Chain A
Amino acid sequence: AQKVTQAQTEISVVEKEDVTLDCVYETRDTTYYLFWYKQPPSGELVFLIRRNSFDEQNEISGRYSWNFQKSTSSFNFTITASQVVDSAVYFCALSADNAGNMLTFGGGTRLMVKP
């Protein structure tokens, strides 16, 4: 069975602060993908990143960066110099090779960035 845990249900920061959203996953599969999605107040899920289980290289995209560590089964997401527009619910998700291709989502972390 697959499981994704986002222990932080809600985080509040002040604009320009850095913030890290935690994600821990469980799977017995050796081939899997990890994802982060953003859900702004409008409600539509927006794809941010996909990493496969064989690539532990960290990735940076602008103010966003991701830290994938198989040793701790974690895939954390950091926003540097947060902005009010970053306010949203962020979901971590897992798709495993032998789990029917669907996404298993974590419970989400609501990020509130205050001006």
Chain B
Amino acid sequence: NAGVTQTPKFQVLKTGQSMTLQCAQDMNHNSMYWYRQDPGMGLRLIYYSASEGTTDKGEVPNGYNVSRLNKREFSLRLESAAPSQTSVYFCASSEGRYSNQPQHFGDGTRLSIL
């Protein structure tokens, strides 16, 4: 059971470079999410997609774009990377549209911006 798969696991970028983080789930879940985790900050929601074809901003969307390519895949794009975007990024999915249904997380992408 793969669950939620994130690629790449690690990446180093220079300031101003662009990059797309990939996420795919094989649980036929409707909702998908992107979080970032920073020391002392917990996980903060960047964007989410309640269903295929819809996306909405979370708590910290600035500097990011997302695409819900199909039901399985939800990508996160940094158009012009900044050092403040150095973080660990987690993708998650859940069966339903509501946050009281447990989310299943991938193992994260550790991103460093120099």
Q: Do A and B bind each other?
A: no
**A interface, CB within 8 angstroms of B:** none
